Structure 1
Amino acid sequence: MLEEQTEDESIITSTVEDYLETILVLCEEKGEAQITEIAKSLTPSRSKPSVTEFVTKLRRHGLVHYKKYGTVTLTKKGRKIAQKIKKRHDYLSSFLQMLGVSEDQSEEDACIMEHNLSKETGSRFEAFVRFLQKKEQEDVLKRFTKYLEQTQ
Protein backbone atom coordinates (compact mmCIF):
# COMPACT_ATOMS: atom_id res chain seq x y z
CA MET A 1 0.00 0.00 0.00
CA LEU A 2 1.32 3.47 -0.85
CA GLU A 3 1.90 5.87 2.00
CA GLU A 4 0.27 9.27 1.69
CA GLN A 5 2.74 12.11 1.65
CA THR A 6 2.17 15.24 3.65
CA GLU A 7 2.74 18.59 1.96
CA ASP A 8 6.09 18.87 3.77
CA GLU A 9 7.23 15.43 2.58
CA SER A 10 6.30 16.14 -1.03
CA ILE A 11 9.00 18.84 -1.29
CA ILE A 12 11.72 16.47 -0.08
CA THR A 13 13.42 15.45 -3.33
CA SER A 14 16.85 13.88 -3.66
CA THR A 15 18.23 17.35 -4.44
CA VAL A 16 16.70 18.78 -1.25
CA GLU A 17 18.18 15.86 0.69
CA ASP A 18 21.63 16.47 -0.84
CA TYR A 19 21.53 20.16 0.08
CA LEU A 20 20.34 19.51 3.64
CA GLU A 21 22.94 16.79 4.20
CA THR A 22 25.70 19.03 2.81
CA ILE A 23 24.62 21.94 5.02
CA LEU A 24 24.49 19.62 8.04
CA VAL A 25 28.03 18.36 7.44
CA LEU A 26 29.38 21.89 6.94
CA CYS A 27 27.59 23.15 10.07
CA GLU A 28 28.97 20.22 12.09
CA GLU A 29 32.49 21.04 10.88
CA LYS A 30 32.37 24.85 11.03
CA GLY A 31 29.21 25.83 12.92
CA GLU A 32 27.64 27.34 9.80
CA ALA A 33 27.68 27.03 6.04
CA GLN A 34 28.55 29.59 3.38
CA ILE A 35 26.99 29.55 -0.10
CA THR A 36 30.47 29.11 -1.64
CA GLU A 37 31.21 26.07 0.55
CA ILE A 38 27.85 24.50 -0.23
CA ALA A 39 28.46 25.00 -3.97
CA LYS A 40 31.89 23.32 -3.76
CA SER A 41 30.72 20.47 -1.51
CA LEU A 42 27.80 19.32 -3.64
CA THR A 43 28.47 16.62 -6.21
CA PRO A 44 28.53 17.69 -8.93
CA SER A 45 29.51 21.17 -7.75
CA ARG A 46 27.04 23.96 -8.46
CA SER A 47 27.34 27.67 -9.27
CA LYS A 48 26.91 30.17 -6.44
CA PRO A 49 23.80 31.74 -8.06
CA SER A 50 22.06 28.36 -8.39
CA VAL A 51 22.93 27.46 -4.78
CA THR A 52 21.66 30.84 -3.58
CA GLU A 53 18.40 30.29 -5.45
CA PHE A 54 17.96 26.79 -4.04
CA VAL A 55 18.84 27.83 -0.47
CA THR A 56 16.23 30.60 -0.78
CA LYS A 57 13.71 27.90 -1.75
CA LEU A 58 14.74 25.84 1.29
CA ARG A 59 14.23 28.93 3.48
CA ARG A 60 10.71 29.43 2.08
CA HIS A 61 9.91 25.85 3.11
CA GLY A 62 11.23 26.43 6.62
CA LEU A 63 14.24 24.12 6.27
CA VAL A 64 17.09 26.64 6.64
CA HIS A 65 17.87 30.03 8.11
CA TYR A 66 19.45 32.29 5.50
CA LYS A 67 19.78 36.00 4.82
CA LYS A 68 21.22 37.27 1.54
CA TYR A 69 25.04 37.28 1.67
CA GLY A 70 24.89 35.60 5.09
CA THR A 71 25.49 32.14 6.42
CA VAL A 72 23.18 29.15 6.17
CA THR A 73 22.07 27.04 9.11
CA LEU A 74 19.39 24.39 9.44
CA THR A 75 16.08 24.93 11.16
CA LYS A 76 14.91 22.27 13.59
CA LYS A 77 12.80 20.74 10.80
CA GLY A 78 15.70 20.87 8.31
CA ARG A 79 18.12 19.36 10.83
CA LYS A 80 15.76 16.46 11.54
CA ILE A 81 15.51 15.58 7.84
CA ALA A 82 19.27 16.04 7.28
CA GLN A 83 20.16 13.81 10.23
CA LYS A 84 17.92 11.02 8.91
CA ILE A 85 19.56 11.20 5.49
CA LYS A 86 23.09 11.35 6.92
CA LYS A 87 22.36 8.38 9.18
CA ARG A 88 21.09 6.35 6.23
CA HIS A 89 24.09 7.42 4.15
CA ASP A 90 26.52 6.40 6.91
CA TYR A 91 24.92 2.96 7.33
CA LEU A 92 24.92 2.33 3.58
CA SER A 93 28.54 3.42 3.26
CA SER A 94 29.53 1.20 6.21
CA PHE A 95 27.69 -1.75 4.70
CA LEU A 96 29.41 -1.31 1.34
CA GLN A 97 32.81 -1.07 3.03
CA MET A 98 32.02 -4.30 4.90
CA LEU A 99 31.52 -5.86 1.48
CA GLY A 100 35.01 -4.74 0.52
CA VAL A 101 34.06 -1.67 -1.51
CA SER A 102 36.64 1.14 -1.25
CA GLU A 103 35.80 4.09 0.98
CA ASP A 104 35.59 6.55 -1.94
CA GLN A 105 33.37 4.25 -3.99
CA SER A 106 31.17 3.39 -1.00
CA GLU A 107 30.63 7.11 -0.31
CA GLU A 108 29.69 7.74 -3.94
CA ASP A 109 27.35 4.73 -4.09
CA ALA A 110 25.75 5.57 -0.73
CA CYS A 111 24.91 9.03 -2.09
CA ILE A 112 23.00 7.41 -4.92
CA MET A 113 21.33 4.69 -2.86
CA GLU A 114 20.24 6.82 0.11
CA HIS A 115 17.55 8.58 -1.93
CA ASN A 116 16.00 5.49 -3.46
CA LEU A 117 15.26 3.21 -0.52
CA SER A 118 11.92 2.79 1.15
CA LYS A 119 11.76 3.48 4.89
CA GLU A 120 11.42 -0.27 5.50
CA THR A 121 14.49 -1.19 3.43
CA GLY A 122 16.53 1.63 4.96
CA SER A 123 15.61 0.43 8.45
CA ARG A 124 16.61 -3.13 7.57
CA PHE A 125 19.98 -1.96 6.23
CA GLU A 126 20.58 -0.08 9.48
CA ALA A 127 19.63 -3.10 11.58
CA PHE A 128 21.80 -5.43 9.50
CA VAL A 129 24.85 -3.15 9.75
CA ARG A 130 24.39 -2.86 13.53
CA PHE A 131 24.12 -6.67 13.66
CA LEU A 132 27.34 -7.12 11.66
CA GLN A 133 29.17 -4.56 13.79
CA LYS A 134 28.64 -6.62 16.94
CA LYS A 135 31.81 -8.31 18.13
CA GLU A 136 30.27 -11.78 18.00
CA GLN A 137 29.64 -11.30 14.25
CA GLU A 138 33.30 -10.65 13.33
CA ASP A 139 33.49 -14.22 12.05
CA VAL A 140 30.79 -13.52 9.45
CA LEU A 141 32.82 -10.68 7.95
CA LYS A 142 36.06 -12.66 8.06
CA ARG A 143 34.41 -15.59 6.29
CA PHE A 144 32.99 -13.24 3.66
CA THR A 145 36.42 -11.62 3.11
CA LYS A 146 37.96 -15.06 2.73
CA TYR A 147 35.21 -16.03 0.28
CA LEU A 148 35.95 -12.93 -1.82
CA GLU A 149 39.66 -13.72 -1.87
CA GLN A 150 38.97 -17.27 -3.07
CA THR A 151 36.57 -16.25 -5.83
CA GLN A 152 38.56 -13.40 -7.34
Structure 2
Amino acid sequence: MTQSLEDYIEAIYILSRETGYTRVKGIAEKLHVSRPSVIQALKHLSENGFITQERYGYIHLTETGKQTATQVLKRHQTLTQFLITLGVSPEVAEKDACRIEHVVSQETMNTIEKFLHSQTKPKKRK
Protein backbone atom coordinates (compact mmCIF):
# COMPACT_ATOMS: atom_id res chain seq x y z
CA MET A 1 0.00 0.00 0.00
CA THR A 2 1.31 3.45 -0.85
CA GLN A 3 1.89 6.19 1.72
CA SER A 4 -0.97 8.16 0.23
CA LEU A 5 -3.42 5.27 0.50
CA GLU A 6 -2.35 4.72 4.12
CA ASP A 7 -3.26 8.35 4.80
CA TYR A 8 -6.67 7.83 3.21
CA ILE A 9 -7.42 4.65 5.13
CA GLU A 10 -6.34 6.30 8.38
CA ALA A 11 -8.57 9.31 7.65
CA ILE A 12 -11.56 7.07 6.90
CA TYR A 13 -11.03 5.23 10.18
CA ILE A 14 -10.69 8.41 12.24
CA LEU A 15 -13.70 10.09 10.63
CA SER A 16 -15.88 7.03 11.11
CA ARG A 17 -14.93 6.95 14.81
CA GLU A 18 -15.52 10.69 15.26
CA THR A 19 -18.77 11.10 13.33
CA GLY A 20 -20.10 7.58 12.84
CA TYR A 21 -19.83 7.84 9.08
CA THR A 22 -17.42 8.79 6.30
CA ARG A 23 -18.08 10.58 3.02
CA VAL A 24 -15.88 11.90 0.22
CA LYS A 25 -16.32 15.51 1.34
CA GLY A 26 -15.14 14.75 4.88
CA ILE A 27 -12.05 12.92 3.66
CA ALA A 28 -11.19 15.76 1.27
CA GLU A 29 -11.48 18.30 4.07
CA LYS A 30 -9.48 16.22 6.55
CA LEU A 31 -6.60 15.55 4.14
CA HIS A 32 -6.78 18.94 2.36
CA VAL A 33 -7.14 17.33 -1.05
CA SER A 34 -9.66 17.59 -3.88
CA ARG A 35 -12.75 15.42 -4.13
CA PRO A 36 -11.52 13.86 -7.40
CA SER A 37 -8.31 12.83 -5.59
CA VAL A 38 -10.40 11.17 -2.88
CA ILE A 39 -12.54 9.38 -5.45
CA GLN A 40 -9.43 8.02 -7.18
CA ALA A 41 -7.96 6.79 -3.89
CA LEU A 42 -11.26 5.19 -2.89
CA LYS A 43 -11.30 3.31 -6.18
CA HIS A 44 -7.89 1.78 -5.34
CA LEU A 45 -8.92 0.98 -1.76
CA SER A 46 -12.12 -0.67 -2.98
CA GLU A 47 -10.32 -2.71 -5.66
CA ASN A 48 -7.94 -3.99 -3.00
CA GLY A 49 -10.68 -4.94 -0.55
CA PHE A 50 -10.10 -2.26 2.09
CA ILE A 51 -13.43 -0.42 1.75
CA THR A 52 -16.95 -0.68 0.45
CA GLN A 53 -18.86 2.36 -0.71
CA GLU A 54 -22.49 3.05 -1.35
CA ARG A 55 -23.01 4.83 -4.66
CA TYR A 56 -22.62 8.52 -3.80
CA GLY A 57 -22.88 7.57 -0.16
CA TYR A 58 -21.10 6.37 2.91
CA ILE A 59 -17.71 4.68 2.91
CA HIS A 60 -17.15 1.65 5.14
CA LEU A 61 -13.94 -0.13 6.02
CA THR A 62 -13.90 -3.88 5.51
CA GLU A 63 -12.37 -6.06 8.24
CA THR A 64 -9.08 -5.95 6.35
CA GLY A 65 -9.44 -2.19 6.06
CA LYS A 66 -10.09 -1.83 9.79
CA GLN A 67 -7.05 -3.95 10.65
CA THR A 68 -4.84 -1.95 8.32
CA ALA A 69 -6.20 1.38 9.58
CA THR A 70 -5.66 0.47 13.23
CA GLN A 71 -2.07 -0.55 12.46
CA VAL A 72 -1.39 2.72 10.64
CA LEU A 73 -3.04 4.75 13.41
CA LYS A 74 -1.11 2.89 16.11
CA ARG A 75 2.19 3.61 14.34
CA HIS A 76 1.21 7.26 14.04
CA GLN A 77 0.21 7.57 17.71
CA THR A 78 3.29 5.69 18.92
CA LEU A 79 5.64 7.84 16.89
CA THR A 80 3.89 11.02 18.01
CA GLN A 81 4.21 10.00 21.66
CA PHE A 82 7.85 9.01 21.19
CA LEU A 83 8.72 12.37 19.65
CA ILE A 84 6.89 14.24 22.41
CA THR A 85 8.79 12.14 24.98
CA LEU A 86 12.01 13.32 23.34
CA GLY A 87 10.92 16.93 23.80
CA VAL A 88 9.44 17.74 20.39
CA SER A 89 6.40 20.02 20.54
CA PRO A 90 3.08 18.21 20.03
CA GLU A 91 2.36 20.10 16.79
CA VAL A 92 5.71 19.23 15.21
CA ALA A 93 5.59 15.67 16.60
CA GLU A 94 2.20 15.14 14.94
CA LYS A 95 3.43 16.36 11.54
CA ASP A 96 6.70 14.44 11.71
CA ALA A 97 5.00 11.23 12.86
CA CYS A 98 2.71 11.45 9.82
CA ARG A 99 5.77 11.44 7.56
CA ILE A 100 7.79 8.86 9.48
CA GLU A 101 4.97 6.32 9.94
CA HIS A 102 5.14 5.29 6.29
CA VAL A 103 8.83 4.43 6.16
CA VAL A 104 9.79 3.20 9.62
CA SER A 105 10.70 -0.47 9.92
CA GLN A 106 8.85 -2.89 12.16
CA GLU A 107 12.05 -3.47 14.12
CA THR A 108 12.31 0.24 14.89
CA MET A 109 8.62 0.41 15.83
CA ASN A 110 9.03 -2.53 18.20
CA THR A 111 12.02 -0.85 19.84
CA ILE A 112 10.17 2.46 20.20
CA GLU A 113 7.17 0.67 21.73
CA LYS A 114 9.44 -1.13 24.23
CA PHE A 115 11.11 2.17 25.11
CA LEU A 116 7.78 3.94 25.66
CA HIS A 117 6.50 1.02 27.71
CA SER A 118 9.61 1.15 29.90
CA GLN A 119 9.00 4.87 30.47
CA THR A 120 5.48 4.23 31.82
CA LYS A 121 6.43 1.44 34.22
CA PRO A 122 6.53 2.56 37.86
CA LYS A 123 10.08 2.73 39.13
CA LYS A 124 10.94 0.42 42.04
CA ARG A 125 12.11 2.20 45.14
CA LYS A 126 15.03 0.88 47.12
TM-score range, shorter chain: over 0.9
User: What is the deviation of 1:56?
Assistant: 1.7
**1:68 to partner: Cα distance:** 2.6
One-letter amino acid matched to 2:5: V
How far apart, CA to CA, are the structure 2 residues paired with 1:78 and 1:113? 21
1:136 to partner: Cα distance? 2.1
Query: Is residue 2:99 matched to residue 1:118?
Result: no
Per-residue deviation, 1:135: 2.9
Q: Are 1:40 and 2:29 counterparts?
A: yes
Structure 1: stretches of 5+ with no match in the other structure: 1-11, 138-152
Figure out how many residues of one structure are paired with residues of the other and give that number: 124
Question: TM-score, with normalisation over the residues of structure 2?
Answer: 0.92
Identity %: 37
Aligned residues of 1:56 and 1:66 also touching (Cα < 8 A): no
1:67 to 54, 75, 82: 54
2:5 pairs, out of 16, 20, 23, with 16
Deviations 1:7-41 (A, max 9, x none): xxxxx111111111111111111122111110111
Structure 2 spans left out of the alignment, 5+ residues:
none
Q: CA RMSD in A?
A: 1.3
1:30 to 5, 14, 19: 19
- 1:135 is paired with a residue of what secondary structure? coil
Counterpart CA distance in 1 for 2:101 and 2:122 is 26
